[in-house]
C-alpha cells in the first residue's frame, strides 16, 4: 500500500487535459468487440478499470492493435474464454458485461476485487432473468462471482426501480441479442452514453421522455474519439475554486447534461466557473463559496462527484446539505461513510443523517486519511489537502490508478512543481 503526502499550496494555475471518459471508454470497447469488422478508438481512459475491460474483450476474441494512442479493434464472433473474466474494481465493467454476455452462446464466469464482491448485482440479475438469462452467483446470492450461461433472450419492458445507468445499460446490452423490442423506463434521467453510442453504431434505439426503446441488432464498426471525463474535471474545477489565486482551464470535457450537474451546484455556491458545452472547456477561478442544498432529484447527474462537492462544501460559508445519497452506500466504498470519516480526519465538521450528508463550512486542517481503496476518496482528499493547514498523508494512494493514473503529474503541473 502506498501513501502520498500533499502539502498546502498557494495557487493552482494552468491547463489540463483530463483522461478520456471512463464510462464511455467501457462502452466503446464493448461495442467494438460486438461489431463485425474494425473499429477505431482514440482518447480512451488509461485507468485500470478500462484496462480490465480491454483484457476481457481480448479474452472474448476481439483483436486489439494499438498505434500512437489509437486502438483498432476487430470484433465479431465471441469465443469461450479459458479463464475467469476479471473486471478488477469496475462496477460498470461487471454490470454491463453481465448484460452483454447473457445473450451470447458461451459460458463465462465474471468476478472482480473484494469491493466488487460486496456490491449488489441483483439489480442487474433480476431484470436480466426476466429476459431469460441464466446467471448464478457462485458465492453469496446476488453477489459476484457470477456464472453466466448465454441463452436466447426475450425483450422486456422494464421500469427502473432505482436511477442507474449501469442497470439501464446492462439491459440494453442484453437487448441487442434478444428477440423483440426492449424498453427501459426511467423516472430520473441517468447518463446517456449507451444510447448515444449504440445509435452511433447504427443500432435502432430511440429515447423519448424517459422511455428508451431498442430493437435488436448488431452494432456496425465505428470510429470514436473519447472526450475528457467530467468526473475528473470536477476535481480541478473544485481545486481551482477553493485554492486562492488560482486559474485552471480544463479542455475537451464531455459535456452531456446528465454528467455536468456538479457545475450547476458549484455555480449555485458562487463559484467562478465558465463552462462552454460546445467546446467542452471549463475554466475555474478562485471564488468565495456559500452553502447550498442539493436535492435528491439532482443526484443522478453528479453521482460520482459527491466526494469532491463535499470538499467544496467544507470550504463554503454555511452548512451544505446533500439529500438522497442512498446509492452512494453501494459505490466503490460506502461513500457516505468514507466521505464522512476521511473529511472528519481532516478537521471538517460533517455528519451523515440517513441518506443525507451535512457539511459545515470552515477550515480544513489536514491530517492522515485513507482512500479505503476508493479512487475518488483519494483524489477528493488530495484536493482538500491543498487548502489544509498542515501536510496531509493519503494512505492507499494507489487507488487513484483505477481511473486517473496521471493525477499526480497533472497536479504537479498546476502547482508548478512538475519536473
Ligand atoms: C456509471 C454509472 C454510475 C456511476 C459509475 C459509472 C456508468 O453508476 O456511479 O461510476 O458508467 O454507467 P450507477 O449507474 O450504478 O449509479
Q: What kind and span of H or E run contains 134?
A: strand 134-137
What atom in ligand 1 is closest to the CA of residue 168?
Answer: 14
What atom in ligand 1 is closest to the CA of residue 22?
Answer: 11
* Any ligand 1 atom below 6 A from CB of 303: yes
Contacts of residue 154, Cβ cutoff 8 Å, sequence gap at least 6: 131, 132, 178, 179, 180
Backbone angles phi, psi at 259, to 5 degrees: -120, -10
CA of 107 to the centre of ligand 1 (A): 26
pTM: predicted TM-score of the whole model, two decimal places = 0.98
Q: From atom 5 of ligand 1, which residue's Cα is the shortest distance away?
A: 92
Cα separation, 200 vs 119, in Å, equals: 31
Contacts of residue 291, Cβ cutoff 8 Å, sequence gap at least 6: 269, 313, 316, 317, 318, 319, 320, 361
Total residue length of the chain: 419
Cα separation, 126 vs 141, in Å, equals: 12
Handedness of CA 294, 407, 8, 412 (dihedral sign): negative
pLDDT of residue 213: 98
Mutate which of 31, 122, 191, 325 for ligand 1 pocket (most atoms within 8 A of beta carbon): 191
Cα atoms in the Cβ-side hemisphere of radius 13 Å centred on 44: 28
CA of 241 to the centre of ligand 1 (A): 26
Cα separation, 135 vs 124, in Å, equals: 10
Q: Which residues are catalytic?
A: 304
For residues 30 and 2, the answer to whether their CB atoms sit within 8 Å is: no
pLDDT of residue 418: 63
* Any ligand 1 atom below 6 A from CB of 102: no
Cα separation, 89 vs 97, in Å, equals: 14
* Any ligand 1 atom below 6 A from CB of 25: no
CA of 169 to the centre of ligand 1 (A): 10
Cα separation, 14 vs 287, in Å, equals: 17
pLDDT of residue 419: 46
* Any ligand 1 atom below 6 A from CB of 164: yes
Cα separation, 256 vs 174, in Å, equals: 24
What residue ranges define each of the domains in the chain, with the CATH number in brackets? 3-20+227-415 (3.65.10.10), 22-225 (3.65.10.10)
Average pLDDT per consecutive 10 residues, the chain (419 residues; last block may be shorter): 95 98 98 98 98 98 96 96 97 98 98 98 98 96 98 98 98 97 97 98 97 97 98 98 98 97 98 98 98 98 98 98 98 98 98 98 96 98 98 98 98 83
* Any ligand 1 atom below 6 A from CB of 248: no
What atom in ligand 1 is closest to the CA of residue 164?
Answer: 14
Amino acid at each position: 500500500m502506498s501513501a502520498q503526502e500533499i502539502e498546502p499550496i498557494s495557487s493552482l494555475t494552468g491547463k489540463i487535459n483530463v483522461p478520456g471518459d471512463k464510462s464511455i471508454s467501457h462502452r466503446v470497447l464493448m461495442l467494438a468487440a460486438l461489431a463485425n469488422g474494425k473499429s477505431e478508438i482514440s482518447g480512451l481512459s488509461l485507468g485500470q478499470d478500462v484496462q480490465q475491460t480491454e483484457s476481457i474483450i481480448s479474452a472474448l476474441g476481439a483483436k486489439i492493435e494499438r498505434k500512437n494512442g489509437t486502438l483498432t479493434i476487430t470484433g465479431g464472433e465471441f469465443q469461450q474464454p479459458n479463464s475467469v473474466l476479471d473486471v478488477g474494481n469496475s462496477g460498470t465493467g461487471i454490470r454491463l458485461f453481465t448484460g452483454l454476455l447473457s445473450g451470447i452462446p458461451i459460458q463465462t464466469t465474471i468476478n472482480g476485487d473484494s469491493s466488487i464482491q460486496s456490491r449488489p448485482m441483483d439489480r442487474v440479475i433480476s431484470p436480466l432473468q426476466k429476459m431469460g438469462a441464466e446467471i448464478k452467483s457462485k458465492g453469496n446470492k446476488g453477489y459476484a462471482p457470477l456464472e453466466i450461461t448465454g441463452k436466447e433472450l426475450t425483450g422486456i419492458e422494464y421500469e427502473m426501480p432505482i436511477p442507474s445507468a449501469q442497470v439501464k445499460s446492462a439491459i440494453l446490452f442484453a437487448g441487442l441479442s434478444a428477440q423483440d423490442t426492449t424498453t427501459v423506463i426511467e423516472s430520473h434521467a441517468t447518463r446517456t452514453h449507451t444510447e448515444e453510442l449504440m445509435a452511433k453504431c447504427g443500432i435502432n434505439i430511440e429515447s423519448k421522455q424517459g422511455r428508451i426503446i431498442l430493437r435488436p441488432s448488431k452494432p456496425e464498426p465505428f470510429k470514436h474519439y473519447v472526450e475528457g471525463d467530467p468526473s475528473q474535471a470536477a476535481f480541478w474545477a473544485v481545486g481551482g475554486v477553493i485554492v486562492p489565486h488560482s486559474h485552471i482551464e480544463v479542455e475537451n470535457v464531455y459535456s452531456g447534461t446528465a454528467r455536468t450537474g456538479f457545475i450547476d451546484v458549484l455555480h449555485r455556491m458562487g463559484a467562478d466557473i465558465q463552462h462552454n458545452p460546445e467546446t467542452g472547456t471549463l475554466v475555474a477561478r478562485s471564488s468565495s463559496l456559500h452553502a447550498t442544498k442539493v436535492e435528491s432529484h439532482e443526484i443522478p447527474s453528479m453521482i460520482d462527484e459527491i466526494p469532491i462537492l463535499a470538499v467544496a462544501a467544507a470550504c463554503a460559508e454555511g452548512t451544505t446539505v446533500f439529500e438522497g445519497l442512498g446509492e452512494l452506500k453501494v459505490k466503490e466504498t460506502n461513500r457516505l461513510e468514507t466521505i464522512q470519516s476521511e473529511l472528519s480526519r481532516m478537521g471538517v465538521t460533517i455528519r451523515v443523517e440517513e441518506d443525507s450528508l451535512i457539511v459545515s463550512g470552515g477550515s480544513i486542517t489536514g491530517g492522515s486519511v485513507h482512500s479505503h481503496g476508493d479512487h475518488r476518496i483519494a483524489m477528493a482528499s488530495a484536493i482538500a489537502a491543498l487548502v489544509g493547514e498542515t501536510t496531509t498523508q493519503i494512505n492507499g494512494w494507489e487507488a487513484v490508478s483505477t481511473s486517473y493514473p496521471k493525477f499526480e503529474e497533472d497536479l504537479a503541473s498546476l502547482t508548478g512543481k512538475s519536473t
